[in-house]
Chains A and B, each alone.
Chain A
Amino acid sequence: GAVVSQHPSWVICKSGTSVKIECRSLDFQATTMFWYRQFPKQSLMLMATSNEGSKATYEQGVEKDKFLINHASLTLSTLTVTSAHPEDSSFYICSARAGGQDTQYFGPGTRLTVL
Chain B
Amino acid sequence: SQKIEQNSEALNIQEGKTATLTCNYTNYSPAYLQWYRQDPGRGPVFLLLIRENEKEKRKERLKVTFDTTLKQSLFHITASQPADSATYLCALDMAAAGNKLTFGGGTRVLVKP
Contacts and interface: CB of A to CB of B under 8 A. Distances in A.
B13 interface: no
Contacts of B106: 43
Contact of B103 (A6, A43, A91, A102): A43
A34 B105 CA distance: 18
26 contacts: A4-B43, A6-B43, A32-B99, A34-B100, A43-B105, A44-B103, A49-B98, A57-B98, A91-B41, A93-B44, A95-B43, A95-B101, A97-B99, A102-B34, A102-B93, A102-B99, A103-B46, A104-B46, A104-B101, A106-B43, A106-B46, A108-B42, A109-B41, A109-B42, A109-B43, A111-B41
Instruction: Give the bracket for the number of chain A residues in contact with chain B.
Output: 20 to 34
7 interchain residue pairs of minimum CB distance: A106-B43, A109-B43, A43-B103, A93-B43, A44-B103, A106-B44, A43-B105
A52 B104 CA distance: 28
A32 B46 CA distance: 17
A54 interface: no
Interface in A40-76: 42-46, 49, 57
Question: Range of interface residues on chain B?
Answer: 20 to 34
Nearest to B42: A108
A50 B8 CA distance: 31
Nearest to A45: B103
